[in-house]
Structure formats: structure tokens, C-alpha cells
Amino acid sequence: MSYTSVMLCQRCGEREAEVFQTQQVAGRTYSRDLCENCAKQDYGIFLGALLQSQASGAPPLTEREQRELRRVLDEAAPPEETS
Ligand SMILES: [Zn+2]
């Protein structure tokens, strides 16, 4: 069997993950494996906040926006704990 290691979407856990992302946000590394469907849902919030936080000359994210971004990321891909 060579088909046993299909990566499932981290959000819905039902469809095969097709979008693989690694992002550094606020000093934490997030790996995200999402199906196309969930990736589309996430991208609006995720990329919007990320672009805003990294654009030169842009105002920094507000505290609320940072919390929201982290919440979205944590839900999609909790950072690995180094215990
Ligand atoms: Zn999914």
C-alpha cells in the first residue's frame, strides 16, 4: 500500500490537504495543511492580516486584530509545544 499517508485537512479533517503553508507570526511557526475549500475560507482573514502586518509603512495590527489572527491560526494549526 503506497496510499496510506494522505494528508488530511487540519481544519475539516475530511478532505485531502492541498494547500501547505508555513508562516512565522509573532515568533511562532505555524504549519497549515488545508484542503482547497478551507484554505479559501481562511485566506481572507489570514492573508489580509498578514499583509497588513508586514507591509512597510502600514500601521501595526491593533491588539484586537492580533488576537483575531492568532485565534484563526491556532484553530487551523496549533503550534507545537516544546515541552
Ligand atoms: Zn478542509
80 vs 18 pLDDT, higher one: 18
Say yes or no to pLDDT of 16 above 90.
yes
Q: How far, in Å, from the CA of 33 to the mean position of ligand 1?
A: 9
Question: What are the chain's domains?
Answer: 1-83 (3.30.60.230)
DSSP-derived 3-state class of residue 38: helix
Query: 6: left (phi > 0), else alpha (psi -120 to 50), else beta?
Result: beta
Say yes or no to pLDDT of 3 above 60.
no
> Which cell is 63 given?
491588539
Q: How far, in Å, from the CA of 16 to the mean position of ligand 1?
A: 7
Calculate the alpha carbon distances from 8 to 4, 38, 78 in Å. Answer: 11, 11, 15
Q: Model confidence over 32-58: pLDDT tens digits? A: 788 888 887 766 666 666 666 666 776
Q: How far, in Å, from the CA of 26 to the mean position of ligand 1?
A: 25
Q: What is the pLDDT of residue 45?
A: 62
Mean pLDDT score of the chain: 74
* Beta-carbon neighbours within 5 Å of ion ligand 1: 9, 11-12, 15, 35, 38
